[in-house]
Amino acid sequence: MKKTIFTLLVVAISFILYQCKTASEVKPMSGNPVFEGWYADPEGMIFDGKYWIYPTYSALYEEQVFMDAFSSTDLVTWTKHERIVDTSAVKWVKMAMWAPAVVKKDDKYYLFFAGNDIQNDEQYGGIGVAVADKPEGPFKDHLGKPLIDKFHNGAQPIDQFVFKDKDGSYYMYYGGWRHCNVAKLNDDFTGFLPFEDGTIFKEVTPENYVEGPFMFIRDGKYYFMWSEGGWGGPDYKVAYAISDNPFGPFERINTILEQDENVATSAGHHSVIHVPGTEDYYIVYHRRPKGDTARDHRETCIDKMTFDENGFINPVQITFEGVEKHLLK
């Protein structure tokens, strides 16, 4: 009798453990936020067969002295990579390490970031770049100084995004304070190449632009996106334009991401992940929990982004559920 009871207990426990394991293995949706912690300004990428998200650590400026990264094979389960870069590696940054943008070139990974939140040309800081052998770092300072340390065309040197064009050229779009510039990076990312007219920084500011530029190509068209409104308020949102070239003009079409009072507020500062060989696009962005007004309480979320038959972006529905599992091939 005792042996029978023991056997039944073993079977029951095994069944429970199997059910728990099965439940974890078949988690159908990512959920939003996609990982724990206060993180903003997320850059979503695909490197080495994995999805990656590089966000800003959302805290007091004086505490923003490092960056974490997150990786996933399926958009649902995320692994945290702590302190992939910090101010011990980039010594000129003292605070406000913001808005990472990461590209892979010649088997190296380059992380562009803003530091120190400079308010004028007399202060030291701006946009820098770090380099690593792996997407999870560790990243080391590439220059030992900022890449952009001054205001040009009124643009505060923050919120950089690096875009690889069809011809292999790399362009940086950046700028706060309602101004956006584009500049062409040189081959080793140590500086910029002049445009045909001799200028380095070309202003491309669209209507209502505030910050957070992003660019991608679809069907030969250039989709330029940006954030509008105040990052701490309910009017924060994402709009876009479409152009035939990377320099515009960028005529504002519409807002495609904004708050839903039943879900969350302050939805903005985004990036887009396109799964190669598919029509699957994901918008990665930050938002504030419903009813939470704390300045630094921003969470990283993912939702599906789709297009209509004419190539225009459909309005994104922000959700609690997030996105379905999607393995990379």
Q: What is the pTM of this model?
A: 0.92
For residue 325, count other CB atoms closer than 10 A to its CB: 15
Lowest mean per-residue pLDDT among 7-11, 35-39, 85-89, 225-229: 7-11
Percent residues over pLDDT 70 in the chain: 92
Q: Indicate if the pLDDT at residue 21 is higher than 70.
A: no
Domains of the chain in sequence order: 41-314 (2.115.10.20)
Q: Give pLDDT, residue 12.
A: 46
Comparing CA positions, the residue from 180, 96, 183, 199 lying closest to residue 148 is 183
pLDDT digits (tens, 9 = 90+) for 27-79: 789 999 999 999 999 999 999 999 999 999 999 999 999 999 999 999 999 99
CA 169 vs CA 162, 172, 217, 231: distances in Å? 10, 10, 14, 31
Q: Indicate if the pLDDT at residue 6 is higher than 70.
A: no
Mean pLDDT value across residues 318-326: 98
Q: Indicate if the pLDDT at residue 9 is higher than 70.
A: no
Q: Give pLDDT, residue 162.
A: 99
Of the residues 41, 43, 136, 228, only one is catalytic, namely 41
Q: Give pLDDT, residue 233.
A: 87
Mean pLDDT value across residues 249-262: 98
Q: Is 289 left (phi over 0), alpha (psi -120 to 50) or beta?
A: beta
CA 278 to chain centre: 21
In the annotation, is 41 catalytic?
A: yes
Q: Indicate if the pLDDT at residue 85 is higher than 90.
A: yes
Q: Indicate if the pLDDT at residue 189 is higher than 50.
A: yes
Q: Give pLDDT, residue 25.
A: 53
The band of 23, judged by pLDDT with boundaries at 50, 70 and 90, is very low
The band of 168, judged by pLDDT with boundaries at 50, 70 and 90, is very high
Mean pLDDT value across residues 89-111: 98
Q: Give pLDDT, residue 55.
A: 99
The band of 20, judged by pLDDT with boundaries at 50, 70 and 90, is very low
Q: Indicate if the pLDDT at residue 8 is higher than 80.
A: no
- Spatial contact of 282 and 273, defined as CB atoms under 8 Å apart: yes
Mean pLDDT value across residues 252-261: 98
Q: Indicate if the pLDDT at residue 84 is higher than 70.
A: yes
Comparing CA positions, the residue from 97, 90, 135 lying closest to residue 116 is 97
Of the residues 211, 228, 258, 303, only one is catalytic, namely 211
Q: Indicate if the pLDDT at residue 148 is higher than 70.
A: yes
Q: Output the CA torsion 149→168→162→251 (10° steps).
A: 100
For 26, the 3-state DSSP assignment is: coil
SS3 of 61-104: HHHCCEEEEEEECCCCCCEEEEEEEECCCCCCCCCCCEEEEEEE
Q: Give pLDDT, residue 26.
A: 61
Any alpha helices (H) in the chain, and if so which ranges?
Answer: 2-25
In the annotation, is 303 catalytic?
A: no
Q: What is the mean pLDDT of the chain?
A: 94
Q: Say how far apart CA 187 and CA 200 lie, in whole Å.
A: 15
